[in-house]
Amino acid sequence: MHLFGGKFCQHPYENRPCTCSEKANPDLKCRCERKNFDTLLWSLVTVFQILTQEDWNEVLYNGMSKTSAWAALYFIALMTFGNYVLFNLLVAILVEGFSSEVCYPA
């Protein structure tokens, strides 16, 4: 949220991010991306979407265009380490499930 919060919304008439008061004003119609880091809920949903690799490249390109090219480092590190942790968690659950299913011959 600290790195990308509030940066995925674009002012409708100027090429700059929207402020909080502009987002709250329904008449201004500030254009915000659905995948954003503005609140904790949407940050968690966006990170989950990145980890499941569902349209993560769009979030990467939005982050790079709205901030800088260094944002790619965050997303690639998140993909690399996040998928590594999720894969190890899945394998641990499977191994635990198989080890508890001990079959004795009759």
User: Tell me: the pLDDT tens digits for 35-46?
Assistant: 888 888 988 999
Mean pLDDT rounded to a whole number for the chain: 80
Residue found under tokens 């999720």: 86
User: Which structure tokens are listed for 90?
Assistant: 């899945």
Contact 32, 22 (CB under 8 A): no
| Domain membership flag for residue 4 | no
Dist. CA 106–CA 104, nearest whole Å? 6
Domain assignment of residue 83, yes or no:
yes
Classify residue 65: in a domain, yes or no.
yes
Number of domains in the chain: 1
Question: Which tens digit of pLDDT belongs to each residue from 74-99?
Answer: 999 998 888 888 888 888 888 888 77
Host domain of residue 53: 9-100
Instruction: Specify if 105 maps to a domain.
Output: no
Percent of the chain past pLDDT 90, that is, above it, reads 8
Give the CATH number, domain containing residue 33. Answer: 1.10.287
CB atoms < 10 A from the CB of 3, how many?
A: 11
List the beta strands (DSSP E) in the chain.
9-10, 31-32
Q: What pLDDT was estimated at residue 95?
A: 86
* Angle 14-19-21 from CA coordinates, rounded to 5°: 115
